[in-house]
Amino acid sequence: MILGIYPYLVLNGNGQEAIKFYENALDAKILGLQTFGEMPENPDYPIPVEAKNRVLNAHLKVGNTDLMLSDTFPGQPYQIGSQVTVAITISDVEKSREVFGKLQEGGQIIMPLQETFWSPSYGQVTDKFGVTWQISTRVANNE
């Protein structure tokens, strides 16, 4: 089941500044903020010093709407015009695979669906209309 969709902003190193800006400009409430430096450490892929303070994921609430944002990782390509994506949260891995598969028809996979430390199934795909989707699975844990 699809749980919801929301705008997801991708910034190029100024995510912390953007969070403060939207908090003030949109009366946003910061519900969560995680930096690349707070990721679980992997000795094979150490986090460079310049990335540690960049935003890995931020969750803001604007009225009744969720707004998410993150920074790019240093050295990753960043193109003006591609900074707004659509995030979709799905309740189970099978449905995530189904939605991802349909969105990739005629499009391009950016990050294949895979398990991450925040989701059992996460991936990014640009559909045939040029819209980039971030598919994330959030399995209910008897909430």
- Residue 142's pLDDT is what? 39
Pick the closest to residue 69 from 55, 51, 79, 81 (CA basis): 55
Structure tokens that stand for 36 in this block: 């690349």
Rg (CA), the chain: 15
pLDDT single digits (tens) 101-111: 999 999 999 99
Question: Which pTM was predicted?
Answer: 0.74
Residues of the chain with pLDDT under 50: 142-143
Q: Positive or negative, the Cα torsion across 79, 82, 87, 88?
A: negative
Structural domains in the chain plus CATH codes = 1-76 (3.30.720.100), 80-142 (3.30.720.110)
Closest CA to 132 of 14, 7, 33: 7
